Structure 1
Amino acid sequence: MTPAHPFKDFMQWNNSTHRFGAIAQLFHWTSAAAFIGAYVVVYYVIWFMDDTSPESLPVLNIHWVLGLLVGFVVVPRLLWRLWAVQPAQPTGPAWEHALAHAAHIGLYGLLIVMPVTGYIGTGAPTDFGLFTVTGFNETAAFAWVSESLHVTWDEFEAPVDAVHHFLGKFVAWGVVALHVAAALYHHWVRRDGVLQRMWPGGGPQPK
């Protein structure tokens, strides 16, 4: 019998009932890296720079790039989650599965709401290098909102920015911490392979 090649498991593109494929892993880890990176950058600005100075704009631009990347990835990630086979739930009580489902809804909600509020509350273009995303205040969408609601940019931006900051300071950390804690619980306590099935090359699929 010819042994299975480990690289074949590593490059399994589609999900199976045992583990996530490379596409789902790419979406997951890209979102995670961009989300965490956006936090690191913005707190660097808050702690070590004057966020109202021109010198902070190139650094804030990195935050905006990473935030928009999260938003760009979440749509195909959700579509892939709806279309692709999902690995079977690990054994456990019904309340644990319900909590995990609620946590995932909260996490996906953040991956949508944080980039949306971040973008529509930013009155500056985001420079990706090869292209630039126009600031929301310069778009036809904001012109329609302004005309329909009779609000200026300052009147519109302030509450949106408040929502973005509130979620970032008081909600996102808790949801992300719960997600990480659950993954570590499954890995170190339950030892049921939940973390490995999202990890690239985390072991061959059962036959």
Structure 2
Amino acid sequence: MQLKNSAQRFGALAKFFHWTSAAAFIGAYIVVYYVIWFMDDESPDALPVLNIHWVLGVLVGALVLPRLVWRLLDVQPDDPPGSALEHRLAHAAHWGLYGLLILMPLTGYIGTGAPTDFGLFSIPSFRDTAAFEWISSHYGLTWEAFEAPIDVVHHFVGKWIAWGVVVLHIAAALFHHRVRKDDVLTRMLP
């Protein structure tokens, strides 16, 4: 399998970034909805489960920058047959997905007051960083005053925007595969 993209297909590295990000993003949703539906999210028993959500979110956030760099450096497969408007909408939707891949992990991390434990190492909570200390001292914000609006953004985008964008992305891939019968879906499959 080729590492780099071609005019016809995505390469192994682009596929790795796509499917790893997708699995981590969807996995983070499954975990957090498990906590919401089946646990008391304020209970200490929920913290280890929420930690899985945080680990997956950090993974999404850690992958997005190299993914974007690779996208900008590597050739992109040719657009399938379609109108200029369809292509512009598809490109806008893809950049919207990248925006989500940045916004959700960023707001998730800076709005979480507990460390993220990866087992072998731990990432301190944003509350315990020099960055928050600087924000707090310069703007006179307590953690509670800082965290509340960040959480509102994270939860609103996660609940009302992200699912729609992801479902639109999946529906478009299936539309191309089933209706248009082009290679848009298959060129990204492993």
- TM category, shorter: over 0.9
**2:41 maps to 1:54:** no
TM-score, normalization: structure 2?
0.99
Partner of 2:142: 152
Q: Tell me, which stretches of 5 or more residues in structure 1 are unaligned?
A: 1-10, 201-207
2:13, 2:96 → 1: CA distance?
22
Secondary structure (helix, strand or coil) at the match of 2:187 reads helix
1:174 aligns with 2:164: yes
Q: Which amino acid aligns with 2:16?
A: L
Q: Which residue of 2 aligns with 1:72?
A: 62
How many residues align? The count is 190
How far residue 71 of structure 1 moved from its aligned partner, in angstroms, is 0.1
Deviation at 1:19, TM superposition (A): 0.3
1:112-144 deviations in whole A, cap 9, x for unaligned?
Answer: 000000000000000011110000000000001
Which of 1 and 2 has greater Rg? 1
Provide the residue aligned with 2:105 in structure 1.
Answer: 115
Could you tell me which residue of structure 1 aligns to residue 84 of structure 2? 94
| Equivalent residue letter for 2:138 | S
User: Offset at 1:159?
Assistant: 0.2
Q: Which runs of 5+ in 2 are unaligned?
A: none
Partner of 2:123: 133
Pairing 1:82–2:76 present = no
How far, CA to CA, are the matches of 1:147 and 1:190 in structure 2?
Answer: 57
The 3-state SS of whatever aligns with 2:141 is coil
- Helix, strand or coil at the partner of 1:147: helix
Alpha-carbon separation, structure 2, partners of 1:194 and 1:102: 16
Which 4+ runs in 1 deviate beyond 3 A?
Answer: none
- Cα deviation digits, residues 17-70 of structure 1 (max 9, x gap): 100000000000000000000000000000000000110000000000000000
2:9 maps to which of 2, 19, 29: 19
Report the equivalent of 2:174: 184
Percent identity of equivalent pairs: 71
How many Å apart are 1:98 and its aligned residue? 1.1
Q: Give the SS at the match of 1:158.
A: helix
> Match for 1:164 among 150, 154, 163?
154
Matches of 2:61 and 2:139, distance apart in 1: 26
CA distance in 2 between partners of 1:191 and 1:74 (Å): 30
